[in-house]
Amino acid sequence: MSEADRRAERRVVDGRFELEARLGGGGMGTVWRARDLVLHRLVAVKEVRPPDRDLAEYDPEGARMLRERVLREARALARIDHPNVVTIHHIVDGGEGTYPWLVMELVSGGSLADRLAQGPMPPAEAARLGRGVLAALTAAHDAGIQHRDVKPANVLLRPDGRPVLTDFGIAAIRESTTLTATGSIIGTADFMAPERITGQEGGAASDLWSLAMMLYTAVEAHHPLRRGTTLATLAAVLHEDVPPPVRAGALGEVLMSVLVRDPAARPSAAELDRRLAEIESLPTPPSDHPTSYPLTPPQAPPPPTGFGPPPVLPGPPVQISPQPPTTPVSTTTRRRGTGTTVLRAVSGVSLAGAVGLLWWLLPLDDNKGDNLGTGPSTSTPTSTSASPSASSTPKPSEEPLAKGSMLTPANIRTAIKALKDATGRDRFGDFTVYDDYVMADVMVEGSETKYDSYTYYPGKGVAEGIIKDNLSGGKQPFTLDAFAWDKVPVLLKEADKKLNVPEPELRYVTVTPPNTIFDEPVSLSVYLTDDYGGGYLKATPQGKVTDVYPAEK
């Protein structure tokens, strides 16, 4: 077997799905953009892995339950045929002792979390999105499935703004409730219904609470019950009243009718849809906020200070098991490899004198999303370097700001110089150019793995993002000095001719970092996508095309 064949074998799953780029990850695994070599289309492939790589060794039962949960997710999705629910194409299962791969449609408009990082939604837009998510939930409920984790990062957007509900990995299928420990529940504290916090089964009404809280957050640009800690947030959800929204207009009354603690008092899905339809029909003033964002890279940092409201950050996933109050709090932190696993065992906590809690805090989404290309970081960033170059306030660039499309050689060079000037650094972990902005992961000074995310906006400058993470999967830092950016217009023309995407909804140019696992050098790729998928071509840094992967005709 040639070296080229060995490289291809290492990066092709099940002999069919060629991994191209890491889209994101979280506590349940990593999501990749991949190419289906049989059907010649782009797909999202979810590589399931435990939070701790040694889980199978010290907790084989936990590893078995994780595998079963993933298979359940696949079966749950396969039971739902709805345009607002992500479609699963295939599952790769190696049997006991392995973790499956899920192959799903690639939704190319980013996530709702990306959208909200750019600013709040007008009420009519939020109502329209809410109806789409509600339709997905209704289809799931009709199939006997509760989603249990409705939040912005789990709502993807097609290029035209239509929502797609994803990540049914913790969905509760009524006939399969034994797969989690007795009395335990899983979800995200910020969007979890109060009855589920106390360990009740909940039901369809619990998903409606989560939907209403998500829409409240979308319109108001903040979560009304989020507090400084997970425990404080849980206490607020249990015991504090939801304050009436101030920006929601007529939508506010609809949301408040759902955000009541008694599930039986909440409106039915049909009644909620009718009321959302009334809000959707109201005239909407013009908005400067776009309705969809690129999927790759999925993180979308907030605008620079002064350019818009602060981002909306959903809280981390949390598993909660009601326990009788017994012992004081204990905390254990385990760090392994390049990722970080935080395991906290808390028992005997008096939650307003009533509820003792035990929770497992899974690794925070690294946002590039635990979805099929999802969303910005769900955690509050922590500085990874004390050096001045890692300052949270980028230095202003003295260069003139770019104007027009960023997909021009001059504007790309302007963005690169601005990023270097603002950060004091010249090594990157990721670099992607869209028409409207440039996104980059800039390496922390002195580190081969740590990076901070930044975005360059034409006419505005550099904004620091909310992502602070580590390179993984064999990726290595790179510099941009040797790239022939003058070749970009030629590559775009080649893409127009050869990728079978006559009217692309999205164009972007991305640098793929060198990879020690796949034994590949740094390269440049041009992507074109539309509602039906897309294609890409790969080139050397000097602009020589090496591979062409057209869209299916």
β-strands 185-188, 172-173 pairing: unpaired
Active-site residue 149, yes or no?
yes
Neighbouring C-alpha atoms within 13 Å toward the C-beta of 303 = 17
> Looking at 117-256, which runs of residues are DSSP E strands?
145-146, 155-157, 163-165, 172-173, 185-188
Q: At what angle do helices 123-142 and 250-258 cross, to 10 degrees?
A: 30
Contacts for 166 with CB less than 8 Å, ≥ 6 apart? 85, 86, 104, 107, 154, 155, 156, 371, 372, 374
Count of residues for the chain? 553
Contacts for 38 with CB less than 8 Å, ≥ 6 apart? 16
Distance of CA 282 to the CA centre of its chain: 30
**Are the C-beta atoms of residues 478 and 427 closer than 8 Å to each other?**
yes
Here the tokens at position 280 are 């959707």
Which amino acid is residue 361, in one-letter code? Answer: L
- 23 SS3 class: strand
The catalytically annotated residue of 36, 52, 114, 149 is: 149
Instruction: Report CA Rg, the chain.
Output: 23
Phi and psi angles of residue 430, each rounded to the nearest 5 degrees, phi first: -165, 145
State whether the Cα torsion 94-100-101-102 is positive or negative.
Answer: positive
Provide the 10 A C-beta neighbour count for residue 16: 16
Which residues sit opposite 523 in a β-bridge? 512
Residues designated as active site: 149
